């Protein structure tokens, strides 16, 4: 496997010091990476709970506010909070989340339709480059067409 790791000299020196002391560097790094993943999952769960709470609160306010005018239905905000964006950046960096793609992410894609859920749950968000975002939506459109045909013929 070709490695393009960019490690600072200071970090390399510390790794060599630890290795000279007989510390298993691979085990140490794997433990650190596992803790990082656990922390990310906790933050994503927390953000999902907050998004769900905000959605329930907004729905309650909307229901009370617009009970007389059923024709007026306000949309949930498509703004994705800085908190959620930071979680995504920590998990995926600034690249497209498709593993083989090395391009810059330019869109945040809802893998669970926002129009249906109304929330920005980071467990169902993925940063994508323009091309992969278009592909994701073209697949979504095609699958919707297949569903519509099945419903109408059923």
Helix (H) or strand (E) holding 128, with range, is strand 125-128
* pLDDT 10s digits, 58-96: 666 555 554 444 444 445 577 888 999 999 999 999 999
Higher pLDDT residue, 75 or 15?
15
Collapsing DSSP to helix, strand or coil, 132 comes out as helix
Whole-angstrom distance, CA of residue 102 vs CA of residue 96? 6
Find the largest Cα–Cα distance for the chain. Answer: 74
> How many C-alpha atoms does 124 have within 13 Å on its Cβ side?
15
**CA angle, residues 62, 65, 71, in degrees to nearest 5:** 75
Least confident piece of the model among 22-31, 67-76, 91-100, 108-117: 67-76
Collapsing DSSP to helix, strand or coil, 73 comes out as coil
* pLDDT 10s digits, 30-53: 999 999 999 999 999 999 888 888
Q: Where are the domains of the chain?
A: 48-153
Q: Name, in order, each residue with C-beta under 8 angstroms of 51's C-beta and a sequence gap of 6 or more.
A: 84, 119, 120, 121
Q: Name, in order, each residue with C-beta under 8 angstroms of 128's C-beta and a sequence gap of 6 or more.
A: 96, 97, 98, 105, 106, 107, 108, 109, 136
Higher pLDDT residue, 60 or 136?
136
Least confident piece of the model among 3-7, 10-14, 26-30, 62-66: 62-66
Mean pLDDT of the chain: 82
Whole-angstrom distance, CA of residue 96 vs CA of residue 99? 8
């Amino acid at each position: 496997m070709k490695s393009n790791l960019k490690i600072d000299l200071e970090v390399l020196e510390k790794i060599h010091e630890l290795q000279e002391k007989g510390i298993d560097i691979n085990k140490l790094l794997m433990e650190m990476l596992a803790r990082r993943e656990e922390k990310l999952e906790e933050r994503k769960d927390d953000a999902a709970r907050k998004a769900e709470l905000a959605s329930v609160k907004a729905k309650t306010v909307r229901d009370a506010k617009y009970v007389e005018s059923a024709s007026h239905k306000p949309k949930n905000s498509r703004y994705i909070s800085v908190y959620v964006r930071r979680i995504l950046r920590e998990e995926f960096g600034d690249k497209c989340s498709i593993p083989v793609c090395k391009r810059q992410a330019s869109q945040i894609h809802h893998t669970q339709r926002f129009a249906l859920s109304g929330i920005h749950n980071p467990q169902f968000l993925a940063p994508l480059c323009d091309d992969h975002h278009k592909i994701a939506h073209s697949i979504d459109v095609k699958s919707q067409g297949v569903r519509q045909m099945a419903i109408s013929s059923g």
